[in-house]
């Protein structure tokens, strides 16, 4: 390497020759580049927060499973006349109130959504077949994994004879989620 200065070990820790530029000469450019990167990054990517993402995914899953028959991927859904109860598939995991409120808002024109902490809260255990209250449907939701194409486990319960488990594949395109696959899963 061709050096324009004499090498001095005392200065070596402060100045490392990078081609023809020293670390001291490059530092202002690196600092400016980092400042621009941080400024652009702090403006936000425009993407949804984790709570918004979870609420949007849950809304798509509920819309598909609340129907009499689970909707085909990409199918349009009609407005429902019955109550849709929703909760966590895993009673150890809680769906945050922020996510619950967002789901209710997203689906307000689709159905009346009521979140429950436990499956038993939505079931009339005194009636034959233990149906969902108010002739409704109960949709229990698994955790939403990260990524553009998550699969969410869910349960659709109407009564003891109509209880199905699904793994629902979703995909995010632009700003919306859509179902790409609905697989029945054994219980």
State the sign of the Cα–Cα–Cα–Cα dihedral 10, 16, 19, 22: negative
Contact 87, 116 (CB under 8 A): yes
Report the predicted TM-score, pTM, of the whole model to 2 decimal places: 0.71
In the prediction, which pLDDT does 91 show? Answer: 87
Task: Over range 58-83, report the average pLDDT.
Answer: 80
Q: Which two tokens stand for residue 101?
A: 């409120």
Which of the residue ranges 42-56, 58-72, 168-182 would you say has the lowest mean pLDDT?
A: 42-56
Contact 181, 171 (CB under 8 A): no
Residue 28 pLDDT > 50, yes or no?
yes
User: What does the alpha-carbon distance between residue 54 and residue 142 come to, in Å, rounded to a whole number?
Assistant: 11
Q: Please tell me which residue, 76 or 158, carries the higher pLDDT value.
A: 158
Q: Please tell me which residue, 152 or 20, carries the higher pLDDT value.
A: 152
* H runs (alpha helix) in the chain: 9-12, 23-42, 50-65, 97-106
Confidence of residue 103 (pLDDT cuts 50, 70, 90): very high
């Amino acid at each position: 390497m061709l050096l324009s200065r004499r090498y001095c070990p005392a200065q070596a820790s402060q100045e490392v020759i990078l081609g023809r530029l020293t670390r001291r000469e490059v530092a202002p450019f690196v600092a400016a580049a980092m400042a621009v990167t941080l400024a652009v990054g702090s403006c936000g990517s425009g993407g949804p927060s984790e709570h918004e993402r979870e609420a949007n995914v849950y809304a798509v899953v509920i819309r598909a499973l609340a129907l009499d028959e689970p909707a085909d991927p990409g199918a349009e859904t009609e407005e429902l006349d019955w109550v849709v109860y929703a909760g966590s598939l895993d009673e150890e995991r809680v769906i945050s109130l922020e996510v619950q409120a967002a789901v209710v808002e997203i689906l307000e024109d689709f159905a009346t959504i009521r979140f429950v902490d436990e499956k038993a809260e939505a079931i009339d255990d005194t009636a034959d077949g233990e149906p969902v209250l108010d002739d409704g449907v109960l949709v229990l939701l698994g955790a939403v994994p990260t990524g553009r194409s998550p699969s969410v486990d869910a349960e659709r319960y109407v009564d003891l004879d109509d209880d199905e488990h699904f793994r629902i594949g979703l995909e995010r395109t632009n700003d919306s989620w859509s179902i790409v696959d609905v697989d029945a899963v054994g219980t």
